[in-house]
Structures are given as C-alpha cells and as structure tokens.
Structure 1
Amino acid sequence: MNKGKYIAGLIAMILLSAGILFGCNAEEKGSIAQVRSTPDTTGQSSSEAGGGKRELTVVKESKPPAEQGIAVERIHQMNSANIEKWLSDHELEIQVTTVEKQATATKEAQYSYHRFRFDLETGERLSIKEQTGADQREVIKSFLSPDGKYSFIQTWKDKYKAVNEIKNMATGERHEVAVDNYMEVGGWLNNDSYVLAAGSMKDRGEIWNISVDGTRKKIELQDPDVESFTEFATGNGKIYYTDANSRMKSFTPTQSRPTLLANDVSTMSLSPDSQRIAVSTARSGGQEDSRLLIYDTGGHVQGLLIGKGDLLSHQSWSPDSSRLAFAVYTEDKGGMNGIYIFDTVSGKVSPLGLSYYPVYPLSWNPSGTRLGITVDDKEKLIVTHIVDFKK
C-alpha cells in the first residue's frame, strides 16, 4: 500500500514538473527555468528519493536578451515620385513626374518634372523653385567629408566639364581645384583629402589626391588591366577598384602597385566606416547565379554568402554601417526576390516582404532609421515606399 502511494506520488511530481517547465517556455518570456537538487530533510532514504528532492526555480532576468535584426514600424507611399536626396531624418527632396500627353501610335508620351520639399512627419509638401536660363543646365553634386568639416563640390556645366571646389563647411570658404575631369568617380580618402579619378576621352585619365586647401597631387597606379573605373571606392587611406578582368584590387597614394583582393567581382560597395566591402560576384566559371558576399578590407570573406539570385544590385549601406540593403531578382519564384536587409551585428538577412524590384538606388535617411525604395507602377509610373524601422 505504501509502495503504491509512493509510485503514484512520484508520477504526479514528474507530471507537475513537466507542466511547470512547459508553462515557463510558453508564458514566461525572458525567464530561465532551472531544476536543481537540494538535500532531503524529510528523513526519507536516498534509495527512495534519489538522494534528494527536486525543486523548480524560475529565475527572472532583469532584461530580456537583446534581439538584433529588423522590424518594420510603418511604410509611407509617394505616388509618381522618386527621392532626389534626404534633407534630414524626416525631410527629403523629391521629384514628381506628371504625364502631360499620353503616348499615341506615332508619338511618345510627354512628361513634366517638378521638385518638392516633403515632410514625412507632417505630410507638408513645398514646391522648390526651378532653375532658369543658364543655371538650368548646371548640375551640382556635393560629397561631405567623413567628419563633416569639408565638402567636395562639382558643378557640371555640361556632361563633359565640371568646376571642382573644396568648401569649408564652418566658414563657407571655397578653394577651386584646377583639374579637368570627364567623370565624377571619386571619394574621400580620409578627413583631409579627396581622391578624384578624372577620366579621359581616350583612356582612364589621371587620378588626383586633392587636399582640403585645394592643392592637388597626382596618384600613380601601375596596372595595365584597367582602362576605366566602373567600380571605385575610397576610405581609411585606401583606394579600391575593379579591373577589366573583374578582379577587385586596392592601393594607396604611396603604393602604385595594387594588391589583389578578390576574383569574379561584378559590383562592390565599401561601408561608410571603411571596414567592410559588399561584393556581388560575376556569373562565370559554371556558376549559375550571382552571389553577395561580405569582405574585410584585406580581401577575406566574412562568414557565408548573404544573398544569391539571377541579379543582385542596389547595395546600399546605412550611414552607421550596421545594415546593408540590397535587391535580388530570381526568375525562379522559389528563390530570393525583392529587398533584403543584412544586419552586421546579428549576421541575419531579413526580407522586407516587398517582392518588387527597385528602379532607383535604395536611399537611407541620415540616421539609418528609414529606407526609400522606388519601383515601377503601371498606373502611377513610379511609386516610392519609405520604410520606417522600429528603433
């Protein structure tokens, strides 16, 4: 009789323990269930109770473990508009396209374009005064130094000629740089100098190291396998590019012979902190798809591939280099398609749930909390979606 009661009690204890453990996993988020043995003080023999009785202690953590990755808070939609540039975290300059005349069997459609300042918080849209006369033909592009103290400014009079200047952002003082260039390929080498691959009508042209005081010095590159720069990036004292054989290389202003970093490179994108390079591979050597990999600046692959498909494009790093947005198109609908975000902290790749393919570059706001995506639309020509991420 006593033995039967003991067995029944033991079964009940096991079931109760299992039930409590299950309840902790399902309901006690952020808690840790621990089973421990304690000395038996009931006088029961060790042969009967297994050397002690079992207790379940639920230990609540002060904070749940931090989760990395992405979470979308909301999505804004702007019809018939694309992003020209971000003015702040919530303000941006947009261009709205309007159909003036529909296409006919003999004539193409006619469009008009107007720029606006748009506030995502208030929904306010203000018209930006259009340029007139000679100014209408000018295109001004500026590139801020990593520390924000200087800006390299190019004013293009036409598609072959630009006036180059260095601007001190604190004083407004400008230094004109006496360099003829046909390309806008370049980037800040560090806080004190800008590298410009000027290009030429005949060959790759000169490469200039331009100081913040406006002085310039020619950079030598001994590489017969590059006639023009299609992929070019600079940062942390190094210059990166791809040659005619799809090889990614690097060199410095004082090292004219380049270092080979990777083969079969189609596109590359250097992170703003100059610590990582996102590389999409060329479809060659029997490889059926293009792949997206992360390299360090020494040419070493970091982890596994983060994307693959028939076409990988529009890689865009967030300003703080913590995330990489990219687009994938795969004819096989079972493969990767749409916009994805790679989180450098967790190593996770997350789909945004938007299967469309962008027709403009992906565009982060200054703090990296919003991402602009512009896609084609049959009725509205183009539509821009701005994704707000949860902070």
Structure 2
Amino acid sequence: MPASSTRDVGKSIATIRHARRLTQAELASAAFLSLSMVKAIERGARTPSDDALDSIAAALGVDPSHIVSGNTRTDSRVHAAIPSISAAIAAYDIPTDPPALPINELRTAVDEAVNWRLGAQYARIANRIPIVLEQTLRTLHHSTGVERLQAAQLLASAARTADAAAYKYGHHDLSARLVELMRWAARQAEDRLTEATAAYVRTETFFAARAHTAGLRALHIAIDASPSPGSRNAIASLGALHMRAAVIAGRAGDGAAADLHLDEARTLGDRIPEGEYQGTAFGPDSVRAHEVSVAVSLGSDHVSRALDVAREWTPPSDLPAERQSGFWIELARAQLWAGLADDSFESLKVARLIAPQHTREHPWARDTAATLRRLKRADAETLTSFAEWVGAI
C-alpha cells in the first residue's frame, strides 16, 4: 500500500513542529540536520531518508508512524528486526561476553523502551530492542548479588517490550519464547511481583491459541500466588491480573467469572491512583477501559454495557496510548454491533490518531473497518482509504 506523499510528510512534520512550538532551526538542530534540508522537507520539495525521518521523529518526540501514514515502512522495519530479536535470545541461559554498558545506562535504555511500548511505538522498539536484550543478558550472566537481581528485572522488562512488537505483528512463536524468557527472568529476579507481571503477559499466548479456559486457569493460579496487596505495586499487580482474568473469562463465555474478576479489579483500582506499576497501567481509568473490553469479549448481546461506559467516560489523555487506542477499537466494535456505523468509524479514527501502529495491527480494527466498508459501500472514500490503510481490503 502506498505511503504518504512527500508533500503530506512535510505537512505532518510542520504541524507537529508547530504543536511543539519549535522553529525550523530548532528542529534542525535537535534532529542533527541542516536547516535547508528541514525547510525542503516541510515544503514537500525533498523526501526524507529513513535516517532523516527517524531523526526528525525523535526530535519531535513521536514515532515515525505519526508522520508517515502509510504502513509499509513500519511493517518492514518490525518484521526485519524479528530475526535479530530471535538471535538475541537464542542462548539466553548461556553466558557470553561481558556487557558493554554499565547497569545504570542499561536501565535507562530499558526504561526508554518500556515507554515506547506504552506508547505503541513498535518501529522504535524494533530498532533498539535486539541490542538491549543482548546487553541485558550479558549483564545478568556477569553480575552477582543485588546487581544480578536488578539485571533480571531489567531483562523481564526488555523481554516484555520485545514481545509487544512480536505479538502485535503476528510472530506468535517468537512471542511465546519471549514470554518464557520473561518468566525465567522473573524467577532469577526472585521477585513475586515480577512473576505476577510475567503471568499477566503470558495470557497473550492463550489469546493467540484461543485457549481461553486454560488461560483463565493460569491466571487463577497467578492470583493465588500473588503477594498480599499491602503496597501500591502489590495492589496494582493483583488488580491487573484480575483485569486480565475478566477479559479472558469473557472470551471463554463465562460471564459470571468475568464480572467477579472485574469487581475485584474495580475494588483494587479504587485504592490507588492511576499510574504505571511494574510496567503496567492500573487504576480506576484502566479498570473502566477494561469494562468495555469485557463487554465486547462477551459478545454482541452485551453491547449495551460497552455503550453505557462510553456515555459516561472516555480515556484521559495521560493514559498510555496503547490502552487508549484499545478502548476506542473495542468501542468501535460495540458501536458496529449496535448499528451505529458512523460512530464506529469515528472511534476507529480516534484510535488511529492516538496510536496508529497499534490500531493498524489490531485484528478487531481490521474486521470492523472491513464490515463498515461492506455496509456503507456508497459512502465517502475516506472509509475506503481507512480500510486500505488498516489492511481490511
């Protein structure tokens, strides 16, 4: 599918730059490019190279996908990185060369990658995560004591971040290996909260296999093994497991279990402020978003539950982009079931604006767009354009 035109790319850069209140000279300096090049790119007289686009995106604090609306470039970069990610973890339990980064620099690199995951910036993850995984494994194998425990926690976070790209782009075998690496790292960290986070992420493998009942059993075991919710991190960890259990119970068609876990998550969410704990967003807003997830997971007979939530609440802008876009994608599905085609399309467009890569790779966004186009064939070409972008046609 075609990427954005040179003129569209230039307009996007200029728009984002103005929103950031940067001059062209300031952007050029931050991106390590000449002022003449930035001017030529913005007026559509020059097509930026991949390296130049990456530099501009980094200077603007966005993923390249926010500048280039076409999907080919992001797709190719993520898929191209898969062999490198696989190679980085192939011998994860075998010591290799000493690390090249001190642990404080490694922590900074992992934290940056985690922020990209929360922001659904998979192209950035693909570019950096192989070396982060390699260096984190080296640090783990060549450290002792407290530093080794810290390295194990960093490895769990790095594996989870790599898994986000692998899972979203359909590499489920690699995703399963990364989940197992995360679980192994959690055991090395000797930290029950990290193990609980690994159990939360492991649910992806059950989603991919459509083994929802087995996944619910696995989460029940994780919930039983979780630390007592005496601290904020422990409350969030347990609450996140209940949120996840509610969704997979819905997929399994067990409405009673879904409601039970959702009630538990709601109670725990009311005890702490919304925030990111152990790399997972949790709090009252995350629980509200999952109320829509559960309703949609239970099927079209429960559509009113999703619409009721949306009438009262929408995700705040400080919720992670991936979670925000997930809410709008799931709401679009519910709106489609309710016969609200125009509202459904608007929700999909909001999801794309917030997290384009996440939206484009979400199977429900693709399915909803395809159905909308079939129902409204005579409608504007913008729907067809969206369906093409999301891969629905």
Q: Which has more helix, going by share of residues?
A: 2
Question: TM-score, normalised on structure 1?
Answer: 0.29
Higher gyration radius (CA): 1
Q: Which has more strand, going by share of residues?
A: 1
